[in-house]
Amino acid sequence: MEGVAAGAQTGKAAVYRRWPSKEDLVADALRSALPGVEEAPNLGSVREDLLALCRQARQAMFSRPGFALRAVIHECDSMQVERFQAVIVEGVVEPMIKLLGVVIGRGIERGEVRPGAANGYVYDAIPAMMMYRNKMCASEWSDQDIEEMVDLLMLPLPRPNGA
The CATH number linked to 102 is 1.10.357.10
Burial label, 57 (beta-carbon count in 10 A; 0-12, 13-18, 19+): buried
Is there a domain that residue 6 lies in?
no
Mean pLDDT of 122-145: 85
Mean pLDDT of 45-64: 89
> Can you give the pLDDT at residue 145?
92
Is there a domain that residue 63 lies in?
yes
Is there a domain that residue 148 lies in?
yes
Q: Interior CA angle at 85 toward 123 and 23, to 5°? A: 160
How many structural domains comprise the chain? 1
* Residue 15 to residue 25: CA distance in whole angstroms: 9
141 Rama class: left (phi>0) / alpha (psi -120 to 50) / beta? left
Is there a domain that residue 117 lies in?
yes
> Can you give the pLDDT at residue 68?
80
Residue 47 CB coordination number (10 Å): 17
pLDDT band at 161 (very low <50, low <70, confident <90, very high): low
Helix, strand, coil shares, percent, the chain, to 5: 75, 0, 25
Is there a domain that residue 163 lies in?
no
* Residue 46 to residue 150: CA distance in whole angstroms: 10
pLDDT band at 26 (very low <50, low <70, confident <90, very high): confident
Nearest Cα to Cα of residue 143 among 155, 132, 151: 151
Q: State pLDDT tens for residues 68-97.
A: 877 776 777 777 777 777 777 787 788 889
By residue range, what is the domain housing residue 60?
22-154
**pLDDT at residue 150 greater than cutoff 90:** yes
* Residue 96 to residue 37: CA distance in whole angstroms: 6
Is there a domain that residue 5 lies in?
no
Burial label, 31 (beta-carbon count in 10 A; 0-12, 13-18, 19+): middle
* Residue 55 to residue 41: CA distance in whole angstroms: 11
pLDDT band at 62 (very low <50, low <70, confident <90, very high): confident
* Residue 12 to residue 10: CA distance in whole angstroms: 7
97 Rama class: left (phi>0) / alpha (psi -120 to 50) / beta? alpha
